Amino acid sequence: MGILHSEIKGRPSADQDKIVIGHRGAAGYLPEHTIAGYALGYALKADYLEPDLVMTKDEVLICLHDIYLESTTDVEQVFPGRHRDDGHWYAIDFTRSEIKELAVHERCRSDGTPYFPSRFPVGESHFAVPTFAEMIALVQGLNESTGRNVGIYPELKRPAWHAQAGHPLEKELLDVLRAYGYFEPEARIYVQCFAPDTLHELHRMEPELPLIQLISESQSSAWMWTEKGLDTIAVYAAGIGPAKVIIEADPTVVNRAHACGLVVHPYTFRRDQLPDKYPRFRAELEQFYFEYGVDGLFTDFPDVAAAVLAERRKGV
């Protein structure tokens, strides 16, 4: 199965094997989950690119963070009246071709103001919602033209909700991965999800697929970073993706996960959302990579993380 030697379970990564995961592409610079954003994340030296996945009415996996369309697209203008009674425009109520009519913009609050005001201006240029297959074709095309081997790191969003709506995500995910060669030996792939049940099921269906158990900082997830919890996760997953505050609160989580054979890829590192304790963004990245000893991290600014790793490897 397609994990590289350096990423084999059970070994904390040496500096040269640590990875950068382009969070939603290169969300610090271009609207999240767009072909342009993924291409930029690739160019900014991400080792893996992250698509979040939800499903359309006609059962196509698309790259979108929310199960709703209105926070990152102009769906309110293009399809007024197509929202449900709760005021949300659900991706699952629209076909692929309808969703292709939408323009993607920087993530906004319901009053239209951007979450990150210093990022790409809202509504400028033109971006569309990619399908998962289009995202993969981009990454694999760039792998051809550059000779690099950048991986993909898809996240299944709200799998129980999709199953209840009659459109389960798991089989379609595996079909797309199989069609694009992600079960071949040289493939670089991790699949991430917050839901343990979904990961269990994926592990049952494809035992060799490297899975990452995402862990939120909520109290309901606290069992996951106990000794017993990590042991349980190691049965079906290759690693954990904890909220970074979990590691800040208890850095021993990293060594304990490694002892269970799990890699550790915390989220999310943002230059424009820097915790007060760090004087500079680089200081936060260095702390996690080299002091806490994580194997990789999710960041909106892959260029900065790649530079931190490159300098360390050169001994600068």
**Residues with catalytic function:** 23, 65
Give residue for tokens 């600068």: 316
d(CA 189, CA 182): 7
Nearer to Ca ion, 52 or 286 (CB): 52
For 303, residues 6+ apart whose C-beta sits below 8 A from its C-beta are 26, 44, 45
Pairing status of strand 52-55 against strand 61-63: antiparallel
Tokens linked to 115? 């979450």
Q: How far is the CB of 129 from Ca ion (least distance, A)?
A: 15
What are the distances in angstroms from CA 180 to CA 91, 156, 316? 24, 18, 39
Give me the residues paired with residue 63 across strands.
53
Nearer to Ca ion, 256 or 270 (CB): 270
- Name residue 67's amino acid: I
Query: What DSSP designation does 287 have?
Result: I
Q: Which of 273, 265, 257, 275 is nearest to 297 (CA)?
A: 265
Q: How far is the CB of 154 from Ca ion (least distance, A)?
A: 9
Nearer to Ca ion, 52 or 300 (CB): 52
Residue nearest to Ca ion (CB): 155
Pairing status of strand 211-215 against strand 155-156: unpaired
Q: How far is the CB of 38 from Ca ion (least distance, A)?
A: 13
Q: How far is the CB of 80 from Ca ion (least distance, A)?
A: 29
The sign of the CA dihedral 165, 33, 193, 210 is positive
Geometric angle at alpha carbon 285, from 26 and 194, rounded to 5° = 65
Nearer to Ca ion, 64 or 285 (CB): 64
Tokens linked to 19? 């990875």
Q: Where are the alpha helices (DSSP H) in 79-158?
A: 96-99, 132-146
Give me the residues paired with residue 53 across strands.
63, 156
Q: 132-146 and 170-179 are packed helices; what angle lies between their axes, rounded to 10 degrees?
A: 30
Nearer to Ca ion, 79 or 198 (CB): 198
Nearer to Ca ion, 52 or 170 (CB): 52
Given the rule CB under 5 A, which residues bind Ca ion? 52, 155
Q: How far is the CB of 63 from Ca ion (least distance, A)?
A: 10
Tally the residues of the chain.
Answer: 316
Q: How far is the CB of 193 from Ca ion (least distance, A)?
A: 10
